[in-house]
Amino acid sequence: MKRYSAFAIAREAMRQHTGWTKAWASPEPRTHYDVVIVGAGGHGLATAYYLGKNFGITNVAIIEKGWLGGGNTGRNTTIIRSNYLQDPSAAIYEKARSLYETMSQDLNYNVMFSPRGVMMLAQTEHEVRGYKRTEMANKLQGVETRFIGPAEVKRLVPIMNIEGPRYPVLGALWQARGGTARHDAVAWGYARACSDMGMHVIQNCEVIGVESVGGEVSAVATTKGTIGCKKLGIVVAGHSGHLAELAGFRLPVESVALQAMVSEPIKPCMDVVVMANTVHGYLSQSDKGEMVIGGGADHFNNYTQRGSWMHIEETVRSLVETFPMLSRLKMLRQWGGIVDMTGDRSPIISKTPLGNTFINCGWGTGGFKAIPGSGWAMAELMAKGESPLADAFSMYRFREGRFIDESVAAGVAH
């Protein structure tokens, strides 16, 4: 792998950019690997990366039915924050957020992490109390957040109408170290680093069966033939229920559509991320100038990557009330992703009923921010059989009644 640097750009500029090499290899699959990861989204790739980096396990294949990052990783609105209520969530999301700070250097790939600050608006008394409680919880967890008043909200985001008739802005939970990153770059950067360690990133290859011997996984059947493995990691977000069925178990997960859209590009007008959870809308401005808009998830099971029109309408309607200038903008693109929602709205990083088979799913509407922390924990779980960051997120918590209830703090799309 050639290192990217300012010097490399200068060198290539001198020779018509003929010296760049492919960022990652596209090999044909071997018949056997130590570890097979299903799903080359951010979480699957990060798992593979940390298996190699932290545990020296590099005989690894990451198998993807479509293209790299073509699932939710390439479809999300890239909000990164770690101001969760429960301790296990704060631990893993804060680990992830801190890894984002050094990711570009670590991967030698610019993921454009932009810690511009994330503001979660409180627009009802209930939300004010809820966020003040989260602020206290975050203090105990060592996560830096602050509850700010309406005047400071207005100072940070002048384009906001804080005196909306129905939902005036009463304050906000402010995480100055939260922000955004370039989603594709996260997938590409990990893929390049994995490929460089000798791992195989195999695209356009769907896993269609899971084979086992004596209660332990032995191979996966794929559209490119059978591929043997000692350990299997299933990291397929919205398709987790389907893969679990192939592996012979059921999950507390349902797949629904979540949509987002971007406007035409305009001059810089907002340099923080704003989330309005009561009215289900969130907003940031991309480096290209587009306003990036997300809303609430659909309510029914859906694998089509198409959402309902009413949610677009709902999202835009509520945002226009808080950001009147948006009403003049044309929308350029709109799309959907299939997100995996668990019973307590917290993720699953877990062993499964099938031996040597692990699952990482349930990140639902908010897993982009977790990618490095999740990969870190999943790799440790797969390598050692346990992980302090992952243990609370076992799929057996539903049987044992140990829910990690974030739906009060963050039950909306984010």
Partner 1 sequence: MLLLTCPCCGVTAEETEFSNGGEAHLKRFGPGSTDAEYEAYMFARKNPRGVHFERWRHAYGCGKWFLMARDTMTLEVYGTYKAQTTEPPADIVDKIKARRPEWEGYK
CA-CA distances (angstroms) from residue 396 to 90, 238, 347, 351, 410? 20, 20, 12, 9, 22
Q: Cα 9 to chain center, whole Å?
A: 30
* Residue in 35, 37, 40, 251 binding ligand FAD, rule: CB under 6 A: 40
Contacts with ligand FAD by CB under 6 A: the residue count is 40
| Alpha-carbon span 122 to 275, nearest angstrom | 9
Positive or negative: CA dihedral 28, 34, 36, 40 = negative
| Alpha-carbon span 258 to 364, nearest angstrom | 9
Least distance in angstroms from the C-beta of 11 to ligand FAD: 34
* Residue in 4, 23, 59, 66 binding ligand FAD, rule: CB under 6 A: 66
Site string for partner 1, 232-251 (x = CB under 8 A): -------x-xx--x----xx
CB under 5 to 8 A by kind: which of partner 1, ligand FAD, none does 66 bind? ligand FAD
Tokens of 259: 């949509």
Q: Is 55 in the site for partner 1 (CB under 8 A)?
A: no
Q: Is 51 in the site for ligand FAD (CB under 6 A)?
A: no
Q: Which residue, 105 or 304, has its beta carbon nearer to partner 1?
A: 304
Q: Which residue, 20 or 303, has its beta carbon nearer to ligand FAD?
A: 303
Task: Using the structure block, give the residue that is written with the tokens 């890239």.
Answer: 78
Half-sphere exposure of 242 (CA within 13 A, CB side): 17
Least distance in angstroms from the C-beta of 205 to ligand FAD: 7
Q: Is 260 in the site for ligand FAD (CB under 6 A)?
A: yes
Quick one: which of 84, 37, 85 has its CA closest to 65?
37
Least distance in angstroms from the C-beta of 412 to partner 1: 17
Q: Cα 276 to chain center, whole Å?
A: 19
Tokens of 176: 């100055």
Quick one: which of 275, 379, 388, 413 has its CA closest to 51?
379
| Alpha-carbon span 345 to 347, nearest angstrom | 7
Q: Is 38 in the site for ligand FAD (CB under 6 A)?
A: yes
| Alpha-carbon span 106 to 199, nearest angstrom | 17
Q: What is the DSSP letter of 332?
A: E
CB under 5 to 8 A by kind: which of partner 1, ligand FAD, none does 343 bind? partner 1
Q: Is 343 in the site for partner 1 (CB under 8 A)?
A: yes
Least distance in angstroms from the C-beta of 310 to partner 1: 5
Residues that bind ligand FAD (CB under 6 A): 38-44, 63-66, 70-73, 75-79, 206-207, 235-237, 239, 243, 258-260, 294, 337, 339, 363, 365-369, 414
Residue numbers of the site for partner 1 (CB under 8 A)? Answer: 239, 241-242, 245, 250-255, 299-304, 306, 308-310, 343, 398-400
